[in-house]
Every structure is written in structure tokens, then in C-alpha cells.
Homo-oligomer: A and B are copies of this chain.
Amino acid sequence: MDMTGATHTTDDDRSETDEGPTTVNVGQFEFERGGSVDLDVAYETYGDPTNPPVLVAHALTGSQYVAGAAPEELGAQAGSWWDDIVGQGRPLDTREFFVVSANVPGSCYGTTGPASEGPDGEPYGPDFPAVTVTDWVRAQAQLLDHLGIDTLYAVVGGSVGGMNAIEWAKQYPERVERVAAIATAPRLDAQMLALDAIARRAITSDPNFGDGRYYGDEHPDEGLATARRIGHVQYLSKTSLEDRFGRRAAERAITAIDDPTADAFPYRDVVSYLDYNAERFTERFDANSYLYLLRAMDEYDLARGAGSDAAALAGFDGEALVVSYTGDWHFTVEQAETLATAFEHAGAAVSHRVVDSDYGHDAFLVEPETVGAPLSAFLDGGAEKAGFAPVHASLFS
């Protein structure tokens, strides 16, 4: 078993990632929608490789740096993003489990993506093949092969990472025993497809985007910032934005823009917040990667090729945990219930935990206690131990 520098075995080892991403080359990778690249998969591991392996799938703009040390430039959103969930003594205890996480194909944190150098020595840019959640799972399976892991004790993920987790039960049901799908859905609804398409078009219509070969020139930061602002609104609930910001004026001055209506009115704090975060985001994320990954999320549909969600999960006879949030309008409680029902109809033991939270979609990141307790119980004793089955069946009666 090749356990290179990516392994975090103790809290003291957390600085080992300073030397950049650890990668494994899985060779020429054929993508679901056509095209292939010589694929490096960047990954991190945590804990003792002889313990039961758990794969953690990251969210849209997340990384393989689930917990502990992470490159500083990733910031708190992409680096060490589940530090309250994964670690020694944490709900996903790295003294009990061997945790593996990989950056998805198409991203920009070490796994090959549009910003990576292609065979001609230039970044792939728009020549990078379209990616799907199915591709991500197949790349992760190849990483596990490399690590000598045949069967996962569990796969855990939130948001599109939750789609990634349930796709494991569809694609490799024999290689995973437990699936924990947090704040996710079998597919997005029309409203989210609409907002995501608006976001993508904001990027591609930025004059700096050109045809996507902007590397070395000015990047389409304005369009990417617009896309991120739209995403940010999707990640928070109406209630949480109102409670946190209301109509309060910001303390900082607005970034200079030529808006003739700006000077006569206050710069609202909620706008300042989105602007600030969008600016930080453009410093850490590649616009093409955002296009590719957002599209992968939009186009994920658990039922595709199987006829129904339950049929897609027919081969899976393990246990499933579904966690959803009442304030989440990106991935709704109703969608999570559809997922839980599909697991049930497929014959899996499933527990659906509905968390009463106003925060919104990002609750799975910023209210880690809502994930920690059910996840810990689920890993310990399965759906029954998670203690909520079969409450999902009566949620909407």
C-alpha cells in the first residue's frame, strides 16, 4: 500500500500537506460524455490505513483537505472544511476509521481539470472533457484501487458531495456498505437549474472569459464573482439573510463600480458580504472549473439509465443515512425524503434525519453538530442506531 505524504496519522502530522497536493496518476481516463485525459487524482488520507475505510466527498468548490492542515490559499471554505466532523475524537473519528478524500476531476485543487496542463503544454481550458458525478465516482474507485481498498465501510458527502455519495451506491453497490447523504437530493429542481445556468452565463459572457483560454491573461473574475454571489444566495435561507443582515448599511465602502444609482443610497451589508466573499472566491477558484462542476451537479440524476431512483439503488443492500435541513431551498427536505424513500424501496435500511434549522443549505458546514450526532450513530450502528428510522415515512403524512 502506497501511503505517501498525504496521510495525517496524528494531529501533529497536520502540517505535512505544506508541500502541495499528493496525487496518484490513474492513467488515461475516459469520461462518461466523451473525451479522455491523463488523470491525476489528488487525495488526502487521515488515520490508520488498517482501520475501516471511509470516503468523504467534497462539495462543489471544496477540496480533498477535509480536516487538519490545508494550504492557506484555499481559505476556510475549501480547506479543512469539515474539521469539526473529521478528526481524532470527532464524530468521524480518525482513530477508528481510515478517512480518504479526493479532489474531483474538473476541479482545481490538484486533480486534473481545465486549468491543468494538457499534452501540448498549455492548460486544457475548454478542451477539457465535460465531467459528471459518475466520472467522479469512477475516479475515486480507481484511487481506492491504488490504495488497496476494496470495500468502503462508508461513503459520506454533503451537497453535490451527497450526490457523489449516493452515486457510489448506484455504481459500485458491492464496494460500499453505508452511505451518508447530507443536504442532498437525487437531482436538482428547475429553480436551481435556472439559477445555475444564469451563473454559468455570467462567467461565459465576461469578456475576459473569451473562449475559455484566459490562462496567462486577465481571468473572468467579474463573471465568476457574479456566479458565486448567486450561489451564495442559494446556500443561505431567506430567514438567515434577513436575521443576519436585514437592510443594515455596510461599514465598509463599496468596491468602485460604475453604477449611477450607487452614490445616492447606502451600500447594504448583505451586498457587502456577498461582494467580499465573491472577491475571495475568485482568488482561489478557476472559472472553468466552476463551469464544469456546476454543470456536473445540475446534470446529476440518480434515476438516469435506471428508470427510477429505487431501481438505480436496487443493487445496494447496505444502510443509508439521509440528513436534510428545513431551511435549505437548494436541496430541500422533500427531495431528501424522495431519496430516503428510494433507498427504502430498494430494500436498504434507511434513516432520514430532518434538522430544524433556519440557516439554509450551508447548515451542514456551519452547524456541524447537526451532522455529527446522526453520523456518529450511523457509523457506529447503522440506520437503526441513527435512531430516526423509519421517521421519514411519516414526515409528510
**Residue contact A291 to B130, C-beta cutoff 8 Å:** no
B204 touches A258 (CB 8 A): yes
B-contact 0/1 string along A303-346, CB 8 Å cutoff:
00000000000000000000000000100000000000000000
Q: Which of B197, B210, B222 contacts A268 (CB 8 A)?
A: B197
Mask: chain A, 261-288; 1 = CB below 8 Å from B; 0 = not: 1011100101100100000000000001
Contact A247 B193 (CB under 8 A): yes
Complex Cα spacing A44 to B149, Å: 75
Interface segment among A89-97, A138-146, A176-184, A225-233: the answer is: A225-233
Contacts A193-B268, A261-B295 given; indicate if A198 touches B274 (C-beta within 8 A). yes
Is B247 a contact of A212 with CB atoms below 8 Å? Answer: no
Q: Which chain A residues numbered 14 to 66 have a C-beta less than 8 Å away from chain B?
A: 33-34
B-contact bits for A208-232, CB 8 A (1 contact / 0 none): 0111100000000011001001100
CB of A189 within 8 A of CB of B291, answer: no
The distance in angstroms between the C-alpha atoms of A261 and B297, with both chains bound, is 12
Q: Is A384 an interface residue (CB 8 A)?
A: no
Interchain CB contact (< 8 A) of A233 among B126, B194, B274:
B194
The residue among A201, A210, A258 with the most chain B CB atoms within 10 A of its own CB is: A201
Cα of A10 to Cα of B329 in the assembled complex, Å: 48
A205 on the B face (CB < 8 A): yes
CB-based contact B270/A194 at 8 Å? yes
A257 CB within 8 Å of chain B = yes
Asked if A69 is at the interface of the complex by the 8 Å CB criterion, the answer is no
The answer to whether A212 touches B270, judged by C-beta atoms less than 8 angstroms apart, is no
Let me know if A190 and B246 touch, CB within 8 A: yes
CB-CB under 8 A from A189, the residues of chain B are 238, 241-242, 246-247
Q: Are B33 and A264 in contact, with the CB atoms below 8 A?
A: yes
> Is A110 an interface residue, CB under 8 A from the partner?
no
Determine which of B126, B187, B201, B261 lies in contact with A200 in the assembled complex, contact meaning CB atoms within 8 Å.
Answer: B261
Given contacts A189-B241, A194-B241, A299-B265, contact A288 B260 (CB under 8 A): yes
Contact of A153 with B by CB under 8 A = no
The answer on a CB contact under 8 Å between A241 and B190 is yes
5 closest cross-chain pairs (CB), A and B:
A126-B260, A130-B264, A261-B295, A33-B264, A190-B241
For the complex with contacts A189-B238, A191-B233, A198-B229, 13 further pairs of A-B residues with Cβ separation under 8 Å are A189-B241, A191-B238, A194-B274, A201-B259, A202-B226, A204-B258, A207-B207, A226-B226, A260-B288, A260-B291, A261-B291, A265-B298, A268-B298
